[in-house]
Chain A
Amino acid sequence: MSTATATTARISSTSPVRLSNRLGLWFAHAYVVGLCGTLAGAYFFQFGLWEYPCPMCLLQRMFFLLSAVGPAWIIARSRKGEVTTRAWASGWGWAIMAALIGSVVSATQVLMHIVPPDPGYAGALFGLHLYTWALIAFLGAAVAAAAALFLTPRAEPLNATAASPLLRKAATFTLAVITVFAASNLVACFLLEGINWQLSGDPTSYQFFTDLGL
């Protein structure tokens, strides 16, 4: 172990948990729940307004989930003891990487529909299509994750969960939320794609039920 790493480990294990450390972990919870919230909005359009997501929409959902996996790992680690600086940085670094790639996907879909008279794909929310909101959300997520990294000296959670029953309950809730959204997206995608390798660029039905003759 290098001197710098040893120093960091020694400081972490002896430092008392302050409010800023607890807020850092709450921020990870907010990040995961917030990204799952955007997926809930997509579900409203899919199941509430009966609009079918295109392949690009599904790809953006994947990157939302992948970006949330990093902070979810930080939360999971916090239930087992102290979150090291290495784990904190690794989780947020992953979140930034997935969010930036997701933003490229969203920006590509914006460019696909930007030339008039293209009306854009599917419905709009407050005048912006969902892929435009997704681009804003991805960029916001990347900035938020980068801020968490920048604030590491104050915000790394240390042993915050061990000292807080509320954070322990929140960890169970947040990890359940991301699991539910990952599993439900898998089921929804399977129903949309059916037993096929390709998904239509502009789906008009749930292929699984169509293939069954329903």
Chain B
Amino acid sequence: MYTLLFLLILLCVMAVLRDWPARARSLLWAGTLAATAIAFLPHVITHTFHIAL
């Protein structure tokens, strides 16, 4: 999963270098950021922080 996310990030960099159209580039960037944020969520949900709030 993490390999795929890094692949998406490399694609984001390639979109910068190849000057992709704004719409495609924005969609790719936003999708990658959202996917990376979603990959982070299980770490929070499954972890008990042992802190009494």
Contact = CB atoms under 8 A, between A and B. Distances in A.
A156 interface: no
A59 B1 CA distance: 11
Given A76-B19, A105-B40, A190 B50 contact: no
Interface string B25-49: 1000100110011011001100101
A199 interface: yes
A193 B43 contact: no
A98 B6 CA distance: 15
25 contacts: A55-B2, A58-B2, A59-B2, A59-B36, A59-B43, A62-B6, A62-B36, A66-B12, A66-B29, A66-B33, A69-B13, A69-B29, A76-B16, A80-B19, A98-B33, A101-B33, A112-B49, A114-B51, A115-B51, A175-B17, A182-B9, A185-B9, A186-B9, A190-B6, A193-B3
A5 B6 CA distance: 36
Interface string A162-196: 00000000000001001100110110011001000
B3 A111 contact: no
A158 interface: no
A189 B33 contact: no
Interface size class of B (residues with CB under 8 A): 20 to 34
A170 B39 CA distance: 34
Contact of A115 (B14, B29, B39, B50): B50
A72 interface: yes
Contact of A111 (B7, B10, B49): B49
Contacts of A105: 40
Given A72-B13, A76-B19, A182-B10, A62 B51 contact: no
A55 B12 contact: no
B10 A186 contact: yes
B47 A94 contact: no
A183 B37 CA distance: 20
Nearest to B48: A112
A189 B6 contact: yes
Given A182-B10, A193-B3, A66 B36 contact: yes
Given A115-B50, A186-B7, A197-B1, A69 B40 contact: no
Given A112-B47, A183-B10, 17 more contacts: A56-B40, A58-B6, A59-B36, A59-B43, A62-B9, A63-B36, A66-B32, A76-B19, A94-B29, A108-B40, A112-B49, A115-B51, A175-B16, A179-B10, A182-B10, A186-B6, A193-B1
